[in-house]
Structure 1
Amino acid sequence: MRAEQAVRESAELGEGPTWDPVGGRLIWVDILGSRVHTYEPGSGRRTVLATEQHVGAAKPRTDGGLVVNLRDGVGGYAPDGTFGWLHRDPVPGRRGNDAAVAPDGSLWAGSMAYDETPGGGNLIRLAPDGTATTVLDDVTVSNGTGWSPDGKRMYYVDTPTRRIDVFDVDGEHVSGRRELATVEEGAGFPDGLTVDADGCVWVALWDGGALRRYTPSGTLDRVVPLPVRRPTACAFGGSDLRDLYVSSARVGLDRPTPLEGSLLVFPGAGQGLSQPRFG
């Protein structure tokens, strides 16, 4: 596997790549830049949407708009760009971070304290009708979230723990939290993740300059070095869901290279899963 530059960008904190098959585009955000980016590999067309707050994640909606995890809660953009709050819960010193859409169309949105105070964040489930339920509290840096191909397992990362955890899923409820794998000291910290068609978990290693792939039993079976020090998340995309996209950050780096903060791609890296839309 060899990384290619998909989009040259200087994102401070690029995050959350998501493939939108209806639009044939890759969506990702620059959290600290308050920007939602899109990229259409077929045409090379790009768009940039400026948000009024730091934006942790952006996912496609069934109506063609976007749902966004912002500083003060979760909002939505209609196709014409009109914005409205879906769930507003401002907490001083806290912002939204990574998020994912579950198989049932709900949004699982995480948060964290700006200063990474232990226990300063949470993970909520937002139903399409706007009903919010707290799934996890006492979270420090809520990050990667994904589901197994059969929807019976949920994978989750609270980055400072260095763990990828797994839960059993029963409808909208999760239980039986346990460790799938731990990233050892010196190898970086687990950040965003995606699950492939084999049920394996791909995770980006912040400060580790690599991706890792773990089997459903937790066995490490692949390490992919990257030309960036702070990869943040990964997602399969393209018309056949075989290209693996990786977002990256340049925040906090001395002398960042031109690639850091850009969107990378590994063509033909594997087989991804179609991701549901919010709603």
Structure 2
Amino acid sequence: MAGLSIERIAGVQCATGESPAWDAAARAWYWVDIPARCIWRLDAAGRTRSWQAPEMVACVAPRARGGLIAGMETGMFKVELESSDLIDNGSVAVTLLGKPAELGAGMRFNDGRTDRQGRFWSGTMFMDMSAGKDIGQLYRYDANGLSAPIVSGLFTQNGLSWSPDGRTMYLSDSHPNSRLVWAFDYDVATGVPSNRRVFANLAEHVGRPDGAVVDADGCYWSCANDAGCLLRFTPEGKLDRRIDLPFLKPSMCTFGGDDLKTLIVTSIVSGKPEDAEWGGAVVLLRPGVQGLADAPCAF
């Protein structure tokens, strides 16, 4: 959209910004900076603050019981944030919920999101992407605890989101060796995906399919990492819109705000001179469509 206004969140530059989430109950945005071990929040009054986690935190989602659930360096954790407004960089209390047996040395969790029923999903990756190890797995956390691996053979798990009715699950692999987005049939009663098929191949477009979100029309918004843009695909997998961004490496996006019409996008520092000003920024924009409220984690 010509002339689309992009607002930069002041005072924030993340090395690896990731996992934006809208907490409707708190009227606040959360996101993380993975290597900085930092959780950020932007409230409805426009105030930002941060908390320091004891290890790398890759993805977060609000919990219905309060606090957050997070995929971190050594497992999935319940997270409680120190609440005093007098502390600019508060502390984080974490409680281990589960550690996969497959989470070996050099690995961590990566992208994560809740399904429409409040189950939390996140996958793992080998942190040295240059090694090209497809040993990442996808897991579910629900009333039964942490699942066994549900999808295997992933280089860099990303792109989790669900269709408006919850019956289609999306998953991507953003590694240069893959660049694929898959769709699955999704059993909303059991939380079991099936019938995996290619939904979009970014080798046919631009960039690598990093984090993503589905809007109220059922369209899938993918952060095209390295290409500096958002790509929106229809439920049939047809590219119907591109929004160029001021940074090279958008990492994840989600809708929020009281009307669910604001899109927040995190980014990663690229190290390239042309990206020095905006790389790592977190931005807000109004693309003219409405999003869907993510369910808080119910467990």
Please give the TM-score of this superposition, normalised by the length of structure 1.
0.94
Of residues 174, 180, 190, the one that matches 1:163 is: 180
Q: Is the 8 A contact 2:38 2:51 kept in 1?
A: yes
Structure 1 residue 133 displacement after superposition = 2.7
Q: Is the 8 A contact 1:213 1:223 kept in 2?
A: yes
2: CA distance between counterparts of 1:77 and 1:211? 30
Instruction: Tell me the residue number matched to 1:125.
Output: 140
In the TM superposition, structure 1's runs of 4+ consecutive aligned residues that sit over 4 Å from their partners are none
Does residue 212 of the first structure (1) align with residue 231 of the second (2)? yes
Deviations 1:100-128 (A, max 9, x none): 11122111111110112321211111114
Does residue 236 of the first structure (1) align with residue 255 of the second (2)? yes
1: CA distance between counterparts of 2:52 and 2:112? 19
Of residues 39, 45, 61, the one that matches 1:43 is: 45
Structure 2, unaligned stretches of length 5 or more? 83-91
Instruction: Tell me the residue number matched to 1:58.
Output: 60
Does residue 107 of the first structure (1) align with residue 120 of the second (2)? yes
Please give the TM-score of this superposition, normalised by the length of structure 2.
0.88
Structure 1, unaligned stretches of length 5 or more? none
2: CA distance between counterparts of 1:92 and 1:254? 33
Of residues 23, 30, 33, the one that matches 2:26 is: 23
Of residues 70, 75, 78, the one that matches 2:77 is: 75
Cα 1:33/1:79, change in 2 over 3 Å: closer
Equivalent pairs counted in the alignment come to 278
Of residues 91, 98, 104, the one that matches 2:111 is: 98
Q: Is the 8 A contact 1:86 1:130 kept in 2?
A: yes
Structure 1 residue 153 displacement after superposition = 0.3
Structure 1 residue 183 displacement after superposition = 1.1
1: CA distance between counterparts of 2:179 and 2:57? 24
Cα 1:253/1:34, change in 2 over 3 Å: farther
Instruction: Tell me the residue number matched to 2:95.
Output: 84
Matches within 5 A, 1:161-200: 161-170=178-187, 171-184=190-203, 187-200=206-219
- 3-state SS, counterpart of residue 76 of structure 1: strand
Structure 1 residue 79 displacement after superposition = 5.7
- 3-state SS, counterpart of residue 150 of structure 2: strand
The amino acid of 2:98's aligned partner reads H
Seq. identity, %: 32
